[in-house]
Structure 1
């Protein structure tokens, strides 16, 4: 690692870590620096999966967040660069064993090892000080955008935003187990991972769109960029499994918003040797994961599913973006983009409704929500595409490669 990074300010926090705005010391380039504390095997497993997926995407697509580098924190002020193509062996071991290597085990080992063994362990632990860290933190989070930037613009949306009644059921997220890789070096105890990524100054998709007046041209640009990003990921055999507006970031450019798919903590890569996402044979997954309003019916039902679950999540997002459909989670004041089904006084996620009734007729556009402040309803070609994306049968949905072409042609057809 040749660059040092300086931290400017915290821009977000969440369940897993903290994100800072920072700069590369040599070039001055602005970056987002995410600190992920390695406090539990469950967290470590998620971090390794995110790191592996981001390395696979590299910097090869403008609509996927770019990873600049990864550092291991081995002491209060000591960082060690992680070599490209490698995973830290001790973190992989923690995820596989279900306990953090270097805490309970090391305490027991220290009581039984000889003085020479202790000396070797100490030398190995201190060998990570290749450079002095200029990073300082006192908090832990996992958001890429500043919560202070988030605004609820009720004057730009409907006078009354529907509220979804929270279900009493808790759906634990099962995270994929990382693959063991050999690592020649590394500390016996890693305190945290630091991911250095490109910085997105437009916040997430919720903040970006809901803080601006409705604009059809902007909406069409968003859905086309998202379809391109997912086609790219699926070609690499990466299934995101948690597509939602919170996990889509926006970079502001002179030519308009540049959309970036981010947060690969729940992503899964298909095995080598399969016929691929677009072939007749698709790898199936079984872990129930995602966010309620964007989960596909087969995921809601606890069935095995394929990359087509991502297509359903995109369909929910596209519908919400094009018609500016929003909701509030109970107890929250922050609007979120998402499609749903009205059930009595409450809202039901579309995937859950289709899981209960696969023959449910989805009405696009949602005429009951039309108002002068909203953009015009999507045209017939786009409505047909949305219905196909939201089909209860995964095989009836277009693949990611087909979707990219169909989005472009549908937007052009409706514009004529």
Structure 2
């Protein structure tokens, strides 16, 4: 079953207005992360629910906070042995919804047997209680702590520890020094070559995720990071807290969530029911709570359209200028998906701006990606092939 619960899981960005054109250090939080034996639990044992651990030097030193969201904090850190810079995301597992977000990200990233240049790489995940830590491994039935996390998520109630015993999951990932797609695009002059490269990278990443039976469900510029280690910008799709791993859950046109009929999944026939995501990037069918992986294609269309024409809005809560396409209704701006749900016959004005360099082939591709009927949208593999053809043919 897709257990995420409706509107409670939607990441709201609706309080916004059209755009006309790190927190302070926490000395009590920025500290060394002590990680135990990465090969197993040989140096750990449970005693009345508490961890014991042999003393050892911390493996990571947290340097500074680089991001903060509703469910966690992200730090820049250094691995003591190699000196490599990494990103460390700290998620407090003090409520079932937080646990579910953390586990969904963990399951998605650990289900990937191969790496992809445009998907953020998880180095390891660590479970911490009372200052001690234990490496997480997928499906580790010997770890009572891991099983309690799963039970917390499934039951929707706290079973891991009382409030006075905080539990955290730490995700150690590759560090992306270029910020997110919003920051990168809006801090630079328009560059058609970069735009073309980003479109190819994005479609490649989504095709890879769908090939591996992962529906992201929250694609947006905030969740697309930039690495510049190679000298040219490389996109990294990140933040899999709302993702759905669909492997082994059915492969028929009538397939419903929870059916265990086949290990091979046709994501475009696998129906999800939780209305989750961020308003400005949600497909019409997501608003109704009945959708497939084609919702990721719609979100990608919104991202690419906004990136090419630099369409932005101001988020009312963060006051940040964000990339995102919308429909004007009087003085209000309305997410494209919501507007199409209300008026399925509405024709999207692509390109939106009069002085646009958008080619006819890209315009047609965007129209198909943003089709109100998901059956009229290309799937991730068709999209990748068409994007390659469009980019390399021009």
- After TM superposition, the score normalised by the length of structure 1 is 0.74
**Is residue 294 from structure 1 mapped to residue 349 from structure 2 by the alignment?**
no
CA distance in structure 2 between the partners assigned to 1:322 and 1:387 by the alignment: 14
Say which SS state the counterpart of residue 157 (structure 2) adopts: coil
Contact 1:278-1:401 at 8 Å conserved across structures:
no
Q: Which residue of 1 aligns with 2:136?
A: 82
Instruction: Call closer, same or farther: CA 1:17–1:273 in 2, change over 3 Å.
Output: closer
Deviation at 1:264, TM superposition (A): 0.5
Q: Which residue of 2 aligns with 1:20?
A: 75
Q: Which residue of 1 aligns with 2:223?
A: 247
1:95-142 CA distance string (max 9 Å, x none): 1222222445x99xxxxxxxxxxxxxxxxxxxxxxxxxxxxxxxxxxx
Instruction: Call closer, same or farther: CA 1:273–1:335 in 2, change over 3 Å.
Output: closer
Say which SS state the counterpart of residue 274 (structure 1) adopts: coil
Q: Which residue of 2 aligns with 1:43?
A: 98
CA distance in structure 2 between the partners assigned to 1:347 and 1:323 by the alignment: 17
CA distance in structure 2 between the partners assigned to 1:190 and 1:80 by the alignment: 15
Q: Which residue of 1 aligns with 2:115?
A: 60
Instruction: Call closer, same or farther: CA 1:71–1:190 in 2, change over 3 Å.
Output: farther
**Is residue 202 from structure 1 mapped to residue 178 from structure 2 by the alignment?**
yes
Q: 343, 355, 358: which is aligned to 1:357? A: 343
Q: Which residue of 2 aligns with 1:265?
A: 241
Single out whichever of 202-211 and 2-11 deviates more from structure 2. Answer: 2-11
Deviation at 1:57, TM superposition (A): 2.4
Contact 2:181-2:224 at 8 Å conserved across structures:
yes
CA distance in structure 2 between the partners assigned to 1:394 and 1:239 by the alignment: 15
Q: Which residue of 2 aligns with 1:304?
A: 290
- After TM superposition, the score normalised by the length of structure 2 is 0.78
**Is residue 9 from structure 1 mapped to residue 67 from structure 2 by the alignment?**
no
Give unmatched runs, 5+ long, in structure 2: 1-36, 39-57, 252-263
CA distance in structure 2 between the partners assigned to 1:61 and 1:37 by the alignment: 28
1:8-44 CA distance string (max 9 Å, x none): 1111112111111111111111100111111101110
Single out whichever of 9-18 and 385-394 deviates more from structure 2. Answer: 9-18
Say which SS state the counterpart of residue 57 (structure 1) adopts: coil
CA distance in structure 2 between the partners assigned to 1:352 and 1:335 by the alignment: 21
Instruction: Call closer, same or farther: CA 1:274–1:357 in 2, change over 3 Å.
Output: same
Q: How does 1:31-180 map onto structure 2 within 5 Å? A: 31-57=86-112, 60-75=115-130, 77-83=131-137, 85-86=139-140, 88-103=146-161
Contact 2:148-2:159 at 8 Å conserved across structures:
yes
**Is residue 323 from structure 1 mapped to residue 316 from structure 2 by the alignment?**
no
Contact 1:234-1:277 at 8 Å conserved across structures:
no
CA distance in structure 2 between the partners assigned to 1:71 and 1:254 by the alignment: 28
Say which SS state the counterpart of residue 295 (structure 2) adopts: helix
Q: 310, 326, 338: which is aligned to 2:324? A: 338
Q: 215, 226, 236: which is aligned to 2:191? A: 215
1:66-120 CA distance string (max 9 Å, x none): 0000111121x2111223553710111111222222445x99xxxxxxxxxxxxx
Q: Which residue of 2 aligns with 1:158?
A: none
CA distance in structure 1 between the partners assigned to 2:64 and 2:289 by the alignment: 43
Contact 2:221-2:303 at 8 Å conserved across structures:
yes
CA distance in structure 2 between the partners assigned to 1:273 and 1:13 by the alignment: 33
Alignment RMSD (CA, Å): 2.0
Contact 1:225-1:259 at 8 Å conserved across structures:
yes
Say which SS state the counterpart of residue 172 (structure 2) adopts: strand
